Every structure is written in C-alpha cells, then in structure tokens.
Amino acid sequence: MSKPRQVLGTFTLSMISVAAIVSLKNLPFAAEYGFGAIFLYFVAAILFFVPTAFVAAELATGWPASGGIYIWVKAGFGNRIGFLAIWLQWVQNIVWYPGVLSFTAGAIAYIVNPQLIHNKYYVLSVVLVTYWAMTFVNFFGMRISGFISSFGAIVGTLIPGALIIILAAIWPFSGHHVQIAFNWHTALPDMTQFKNIVFFVGVVLALSGMELSAVHASEVKNPQRAYPRAIFLAAIIIILISSLGTLAIAMVVPASQISLVAGVMQAFKSFFIAYHMAFLIPWIAGALTIGAIAMIATWIIGPSKGLLASAHEGDIPSYLQKQNKHDVPVRLLVLQGILSSCVALIFLLMPSVNASFWVITDVSTQIYMLMYLLMFAAAIYLRYKKPDQPRAYRVPFGNLGMWIISGLGFLGSLFVLVIGFIPPAQIHTGDIVYYEGFMILGMVVLIAFPLIAFSFRNPAWTNKSITP
C-alpha cells in the first residue's frame, strides 16, 4: 500500500475538529440550566475539554501515525488495551450516530412540518437514509470527506452558531422577554441532587472528540507543526459557540419546553418570528442539516480508520481489512452501518423521541468516557516509559504538568461515567430497573467482548501493509 497522501492543511484539520465536535444539537442539554449553563461549560472545560486538547496534541505529535487512540494506548499499555481503546471509540460512534442524525430529522421537519419531530417512524427513516448516504460518500476518501467537513462546519455550524448568538445579543435590547435571569443566584445550577445535573453528561459530550483528528495525522502536511495549531484554533471556536449558543436558546425557550432534538430550531423560530423574518426558518433548517451531515461525514471514517490500524497486529479478521483505491476500509464501514442501523431501532422502543435521544446520548457518552480514562492514563505512563520520544508539543511544566492535566481529565471522565447511570429528572425514561440494568449490562458486555475477542486473534490476519 502506498504512503497516505498528505492532503490536509492546518485550516482543514481545524475545521474537521470543529465539524466533529461542534454540533448545535448538543446545546439544548445545557440550556435546561439557564444562566447556570456557563458554569457547567467552565467546569467541563477545566475537567475535560482543556485536558483532552493538551494531551491529544502531545500524543498526536509524539505518535503521529494513523490510528490515533489505538497507537497511543498501545504504546503505553500494549496491544490488548490498545485494541480495547479503539474498540470503545468505534462502538461509541455506532451508538451515537442515530442521536446526531435525529437532530437532522428535527431540522428537516421544520422545513416540511414541525410536528413530524414527534413521529418515531419519520425520525428513524431520516436517520437511516442520511447515514447510509454519508457512508457511501466516504467510500471516495479523505479529500472529499475533508471538503464536506470544512464546508459543513462553516455553513452548518459556524454561520448558524454566530447568527443565533447575534440574535440573542439583540433580544434584550429590543423589548422582548428573556426567559432566564442573569444574577448570582442563577449563576450556579441546583446541584443538591445528582438527578438535577445528569445533563452535564450532554455538556461533556458536546466538548468530546478533540482526539479524532489525530487519526488523520499521516495525511496532514507537516503534522508535527500543523496538528497543535489546528487543535488549539478549533478549541477556541468550539468553546465560544457552545457556551454562547446555549445561552441563546435558554433566553427565548422556556426550560420546560426545550426539546433535546429540536431545541435549536425552537430558538431560531422564536427569534425569526419576533423579528418578522419567518421566511428564514426553512433556510436555517437547511443549513443545520448540512452541519449535522458534515459531522457524520467526519465521524464515519475516523474511528474505522483507527480500528483498521489494529490490523497491523492481526486484531481484526482479514475480510474486514479490505480497502478500496482511496484507502477506505469499505467493509468496516458497511459493518458499522449495519450495527448503527440496529441501534437506531431504539426510537421505536422508548416512550418518546426525547427519551430515545437521551438514552443514545447517555450510552455513547459512557462508552466514550471509558476510552478517555485509558487515554489520560496512557499519557502519564508514556512520560516515564518513553521520555525520549520526540514530541513537537508537550504538556507544559514537565511530568508534574502532565499529572495535573491528565489527572483532571481522568477525574472529569470518571465523574461523567458515574452520573451517567442516573436517569435525568427532566425526562421519563421508563422503568428504573430496566434503565439501570440496560446501562450496567451494556458496560460489562462492551468491555468484556474486545478483551475476550483479542484472545482469538489470528496471526494470519496480520497486515503489515497497513501503517500503524
């Protein structure tokens, strides 16, 4: 196999990160807390987002080969745990795809008929059609996927994100009622009970994924220099849009009426009707659809390429290693699509679309946090195991700085993992025993399966032509 072509620059890589992370669909979670959402974003940034950005920058420039989280954790803890890490990232996405695409269904519904968002069969249909369309697009390689990510991030995320923030900034000065109060009493959310802060899971998920762009490191022009620049540019954009966009929704939509699926469109509709610009509703819905599709285009290929890197050690069957002329693991993408389509059926099983959306979000976040625990632990261990490994970027203040930064990230991930087992007070998710049993059993199976499967790997599956 030829060496991956270096076709991605700093800006494109940064936009891939923005497209992968910034989804306006995640804003309604924090909007439930009103002005207190800013505090939650601050906590999430300190305990999770900043540590992820710093650690991913060091690991990606120290081990820049394609494979991302697999390469990093394997370098620290060996093949078995490395395989577990990339497995968790891959499976997390399989569970997560239907959730982000339900946001697409919500945006499209505002073009056709807003009431469709409550129709489970409509949501399921949009999820399946859109997902498989983006899977097919990814067959043509990173050049096209990268373009879709950059274009979608600008048209479907940056522009709508800036617009909703501007509209919210004008709102109080145009004589309209603000749904939240800005004072010291509302600056902190009610944290007296865990069930009142469970939506913090959604806030952290909104800031997850900074490590994803590392799987494209071998396709970046001058990765040792470009990756840190791209990741920090993306971090600034992501924090600004997420926190200010959340406040925009909370200002115009009452907390009790915020839809987790269509909350962003609820806010835009309120703004446009008040400003006599209702004709823009379908246009902004179209833009948000483009943004969500761009996010899916980014995430469909990333984790699969990371899992493919484990083929170098014979961790996955030869049949799934097949790549087309664009170096895309087509059979892995098809398997991923089949499994994700099965997960999407949860929309037919839960009491409501909101409940389905929450369960998908919660489960995918739980899986993701397990992966991050491994990443932060590996970052610390590699400072001692391979101290002389060249790293274009290092977490500042030596090993103490790495302990502090990775320690914060580890504790933050562990906290989210724990509260994720508590059903939210704001949503009816059905029987509590079923809910807890589903979450606990799911975690046990998802951890045990890759560890057991690793024992059955076949040396004949080894593919040395795939660069780890």
Alpha carbon of residue 154 to chain centroid: 17
Q: Which of 150-164, 295-309, 355-369 is the least confident region?
A: 295-309
Helix axes 142-153, 120-138, angle to 10 degrees: 130
How confident is the model over 391-414, as pLDDT tens digits?
877 888 899 999 999 999 999 999
How confident is the model over 8-44, as pLDDT tens digits?
677 777 777 776 676 677 788 778 778 888 888 888 8
Q: How confident is the model at residue 381 (pLDDT cuts 50, 70, 90)?
A: very high
**Which residue ranges make up each domain of the chain?**
10-456
pLDDT at 352: 73
Say if CB 318 and CB 464 are below 8 A apart. Answer: no
Percentage with pLDDT > 70 across the chain: 85
Q: Which of 76-85, 133-142, 211-220, 244-253 is the least confident region?
A: 211-220
Residue 271: DSSP 8-state: H
How confident is the model over 255-313, as pLDDT tens digits?
778 887 778 888 999 999 999 998 998 899 888 888 877 777 767 776 677 677 666 66
Give residue 218's identity as a one-letter amino acid code.
Answer: S
Angle at 269 between CA 266 and CA 272, to 5 degrees: 150
Q: Which of 84-93, 207-216, 283-292, 412-421 is the least confident region?
A: 207-216
Select the more confidently predicted residue: 20 or 189. Answer: 189
Alpha-carbon torsion (43, 44, 49, 55), positive or negative = positive
Ranked by mean pLDDT, the top range of 30-39, 106-115, 121-130, 344-353 is: 121-130
pLDDT at 386: 93
φ and ψ of 220, to 5 deg: -100, 140
pLDDT at 218: 56
Q: Mean per-residue pLDDT for 54-69?
A: 80
**220: β partners:** 8
Superfamily name with CATH number, domain 10-456: Amino acid/polyamine transporter I (1.20.1740.10)
Percentage with pLDDT > 90 across the chain: 16
How confident is the model over 125-134, as pLDDT tens digits?
988 998 898 8
Q: Report residue 9 as tokens.
A: 């620059």
pLDDT at 270: 92
pLDDT exceeds cutoff 70 at 1: no
pLDDT at 372: 95
Q: Mean per-residue pLDDT for 200-210?
A: 80
Angle at 297 between CA 331 and CA 287, to 5 degrees: 155
Say if CB 52 and CB 234 are below 8 A apart. Answer: no
Angle at 255 between CA 252 and CA 260, to 5 degrees: 95
Angle at 94 between CA 88 and CA 96, to 5 degrees: 95
pLDDT at 239: 81
Q: Report residue 249 as tokens.
A: 């929704």
pLDDT at 451: 79
- pTM score over 0.85: no
